[in-house]
Amino acid sequence: MRFRARMCANRRQAAPERAACSNRHVAPVVGRFTILFGMTAVVDRLNTEKTTFSVEFFPPRSDDEERILWRAVRELEPLDPAFVSVTYGAGGSSRDRTIRTTGRIAQETTLTPMAHLTAVDHSVAELRNVIGWYAASGVQNVLAVRGDPPGDPNGEWRQHPEGLTYAEELVRLVRELGEFCVGVAAFPHGHPRSTDLDIDADHLVRKIRAGAGFAIAQLFLEPEYFLRLRDRMVARGCDVPLLPGVMPITTPRVLGKFGELAGVPVPAEVSEQLMPLAEDPAGFRAAGVDLVTRLCERLIAEGVAALHFYTLNRSKATRQVVANLGL
């Protein structure tokens, strides 16, 4: 069964003449993709002359968190981000919240939503079901990531007996099931389980060739790692958009979160710059926003056309960086 994302209240103009997830490495299937009125594929939003940005949220766990998230959504909406994504966690209730949040964004805002999806603890039948829910709630864009073992992200990956092993298979499944635009994860420092950056890049390119139209990079603070990953992709003939993952650093706690998410230590140079301000919240915040602005400026100077901000469900710091960059 193939799903078709249903019409939603997203009021942005559709682009029916463009193929979704246009990907030179996948044979184009004429007539396969039908963009319904008002639906927008992420690749179409990225296909612009202007430097743009996107934002990432996590599904709220309580009414309070939901209010905080929606304040951030409404504050970012006038800035017209290319898309907004919602992560996918372990466990049924978290997953329901991803479906509900992306569905609400599709139906109640002018934003282009993207739902993340992982293969963790899912049979293929369950994955089909979630993808069906995305389609039914008007979500056409999916970030297909494998996910990590619940409880211990560094633990041994355990495939569901009727599930999938790699994100590449998830990309294929989502693309087979409907007219979805699919993105994948990329790792400037290499995936934590990989020992070889070249083999890791080969795997990334396989995911793209399986049908993904773009990739989003894990957080980093040293631009060279991202730029070298981009070079490895280009060397393999892969030129889909690679968005850098950027997190505005506003507090020592957020800096600690960076290390956790990026899977690499905070660069000594960054710690030396920020940590002397640990007891000065305003000074730390200003220096952190400035540091991330300079990182983004360097990336833009290197030809990066879209930046992906991890917001932690707050908008202020992202809005500051976006304003500093004049986006």
Ligand X SMILES: Cc1cc2nc3c(=O)[nH]c(=O)nc-3n(C[C@H](O)[C@H](O)[C@H](O)COP(=O)(O)OP(=O)(O)OC[C@H]3O[C@@H](n4cnc5c(N)ncnc54)[C@H](O)[C@@H]3O)c2cc1C
Looking at the annotation, which residues are catalytic? Answer: 56
Residue type at position 204: L
Residue 216 contacts ligand X per CB under 6 A = yes
Evaluate the CA torsion angle 195, 198, 199, 205 in order and state its sign: positive
Residue 113 contacts ligand X per CB under 6 A = no
Residue 298 contacts ligand X per CB under 6 A = no
Q: Which stretch binds ligand X (CB under 6 A): 60-68, 173-181, 193-201, 232-240?
A: 193-201
Residue 179 contacts ligand X per CB under 6 A = no
Residue 116 contacts ligand X per CB under 6 A = yes
Angle between helices 316-325 and 281-301 (to 10 degrees): 50
Residue 100 contacts ligand X per CB under 6 A = no
The tokens of 279 are what?
Answer: 């007891």
62-91 residues near ligand X, rule: CB under 6 A: 87-88
When binding is defined by CB under 6 A, the residue of 40, 101, 141, 218 that contacts ligand X is 218
What contacts 278, CB < 8 A, 6 or more positions away? 252, 284
Minimum distance of ligand X from residue 122's CB (angstroms):
11
What contacts 256, CB < 8 A, 6 or more positions away? none
Residue 59 contacts ligand X per CB under 6 A = no
The tokens of 78 are what?
Answer: 């006038």
When binding is defined by CB under 6 A, the residue of 18, 61, 74, 193 that contacts ligand X is 193
Element (H, E) at 55: strand 52-57
When binding is defined by CB under 6 A, the residue of 146, 189, 230, 285 that contacts ligand X is 146
Q: In whole angstroms, what is the distance from residue 174 CA to residue 94 CA? A: 20
The contact mask relative to ligand X for 240-269 (x = CB under 6 A, - = no) is -----x------------------------
Q: In the Cβ-directed half-sphere of 222, how many Cα atoms lie within 13 Å?
A: 17
| Nearer residue to ligand X within complex by CB, 190 or 274 | 190
Contact between 97 and 69 under an 8 Å Cβ cutoff? The reply is no
- Report helix, strand or coil for 158: coil
Residues that bind ligand X (CB under 6 A): 87-88, 116, 118, 143, 145-148, 166-168, 185, 191, 193-194, 200, 203, 206-207, 216, 218, 245
